[in-house]
Chain A
Amino acid sequence: MDFLERERREMSTVLRQPGEKPDRALRIDRRTFIHKSILLGTAAGAASFGWFPLISTLDVAYGAETFKFAWISDNHLYPKDVNTRFVEKAVRAVQEVQGMSPPADFLIHGGDIAQLGDPVELGLGNDILKEVKIRKVFIPGEHDWYLDMGATWRKHFGNPNWTFDHKGVRFIGLDTISRCPDYWSATKMSPKDRMGAMATLDGSIAGPWAGVGSDQLEWLNRTLSSWPKDRPVIVFSHNPLYEYYPPWNFWVRDWREVQEILRPYRNVTNVHGHTHQVLYNEIGKMRSIGMLATSWPWPYAPQGVPDLTTCMVRADPGDYFDGMGWSRLTVTAAEKVQNEYMMFGRKPTEVFGETPADSGCADNVNQKLHPRIADRGWYYKD
């Protein structure tokens, strides 16, 4: 049994106890039902790919009154003279959020505004996001941080973790990126090389960098202790708060401790970036939703997706807007919240791969992958 298999078994043992589910009130709504009906005819074929037809919208929490909020993340901006396409896509997302009617109550930016943490990139992102006039809150991504260890990001966007209550929901922003074990000092790595290693998703130098950290775990525990256990909590994080695929840091390494703190709360939703794809999972009582990027879509993890995820459609690489976008989340007066993936150029019904041939994960059934080699010691040294 390899490392990943052990991790997954442990996660199931710890968090998938009998009867441990998100609150029953958080049912699939009518729009979801319609989507399921459409998929019914393909369900048998889909099952062989571990492909579970489910949702186009999600019920995630209770709210005292109707309100909307929007999510943008993973813009990965280079300086404008290097790459204009990423700028175009970030601008489009910002314009679409600003064009929401009625307007969203706030925008959460989920990290990775910049590609290489360059002050020019972060400044460009800040300028683009200024076009959104509603309230904005920010959490950092690893691409924003490791050139100057967050100095520029903090200057523009403030503290990397925070909390506020809004219309009956406790919102928490977590910093899952800044507590990477030091891989740079011993080898006297330059800030640029440190950032380069961090910016390589499938690299091995930065290792398991994603984590919440003991100090922030204590803060999370304190922050939640005054909140009633049956009231909704929405936690924003750059990385998913469970183990999805550690080699690409599609996790936080201290997910056990995070889940232990969240466990007493009945209505917890984690909304995360970093994975650049449609993703959904339920871990214990927590629901977890992955958001789209505006820059490029990542492929699904080589070892497969959570059973509850309906994979997104295969993006057309010839259309540099396809497979990317932002998200609109609505908390309804009936105490439900819906997530709508706003994929550029596609209708909501076209976001998901509805047949194996169109699915972003069903086309990988014959694929077996191996970690890269050139950033490790030379092959014959071991």
Chain B
Amino acid sequence: MRRRALVICGIGLALLVGVTGAIQRAQAKGKQTPEQLKLYDELFMEQVRTGDLLFHGDADTEKKMGVTLSKTGMACAMCHPFASDNHPYEFPKFQTSMDKFATLRDMINWCIEKPQEGVRIDSDSDAMKALESYIYWSNRGSQLDPGRH
């Protein structure tokens, strides 16, 4: 009897999971609600805001994220106010300062290690994603032109 009850519960759970998944898939295919769009935007802007703070040398944010982006007092924004002259829309490209074909993430790490004499960050780290988010956000509307020197 007990075994039968367990089997029924198991089937019920499987059905529930299946139905929930189906609902989620249907939602993904369906219209996005204003609440969903707001949520996506909030998630992105949180990354932008964190990246903005890192880009401007905010010590608390660096400490919280466990990164050392600079040991010279310099911050990214000192040479790149408004993230100008970053040209994220030109990557990937051959980067003369590195003498190699490079991505924006390579370039971010080059700036951390060379002018700022900081400690390079993992290419897929939260800090890298945040920096990338801020740089792209600040350059939104620029014309995509990969490979341009």
Contacts and interface: CB of A to CB of B under 8 A. Distances in A.
Interface of A: 78, 82-83, 85, 115, 200-203, 247-248, 296-299, 302, 316-318, 320, 357, 363-364, 366-375, 378-380
Nearest to A361: B85
B149 interface: yes
Given A317-B115, A318-B114, A374-B52, A248 B81 contact: yes
20 contacts: A83-B74, A202-B77, A248-B81, A298-B79, A299-B79, A299-B80, A299-B85, A302-B82, A316-B97, A317-B111, A318-B114, A363-B87, A364-B87, A366-B87, A366-B143, A367-B142, A368-B141, A368-B143, A378-B49, A380-B42
A366 B149 CA distance: 12
B109 interface: no
Contacts of A371: 82
Contacts of A368: 139-143
B84 interface: yes
B141 A201 contact: no
Per DSSP, chain A at the interface is loop
Contact of A78 (B72, B89, B143, B148): B72
A374 B82 contact: no
A82 B73 contact: yes
B87 A367 contact: yes
A302 B73 contact: no
Interface residues of B, number: 38
Contacts of A366: 87, 89-90, 142-143, 145, 148
Interface string B92-110: 0000110000000000000
B78 interface: yes
A99 B149 CA distance: 38
Contacts of A202: 77, 81-82
Nearest to A85: B72
Interface of B: 42, 45, 48-49, 52-53, 56, 58, 72-74, 77-85, 87, 89-90, 96-97, 111, 114-115, 137-143, 145, 148-149
A370 B111 CA distance: 21
A369 B139 contact: yes
Contact of A372 (B52, B97, B149): B52
A319 to B, nearest CB: 9
A200 B77 contact: yes
Contacts of B114: 317-318
B53 to A, nearest CB: 5
Contact of B73 (A78, A316, A370, A374): A78
Contacts of A299: 79-81, 84-85
Contact of A357 (B81, B137, B142, B149): B149
A368 B139 CA distance: 6
Nearest to B114: A318
A350 to B, nearest CB: 17
Contacts of A375: 52, 56
Listed from nearest, the 5 A-B pairs whose CB atoms lie closest are A202-B81, A374-B52, A366-B143, A368-B141, A299-B85
B56 A374 contact: yes
Contacts of B72: 78, 82-83, 85
Nearest to A84: B72
Contacts of A320: 115
Nearest to B61: A374
A372 B79 contact: no
Nearest to B111: A317
Contacts of A363: 87, 149
Given A369-B82, A369-B142, A370-B137, 16 more contacts: A78-B72, A83-B72, A85-B72, A202-B82, A296-B78, A297-B79, A302-B82, A302-B84, A363-B87, A366-B90, A367-B142, A368-B140, A369-B83, A369-B84, A370-B139, A378-B49
Contacts of A83: 72-74
Nearest to B83: A369
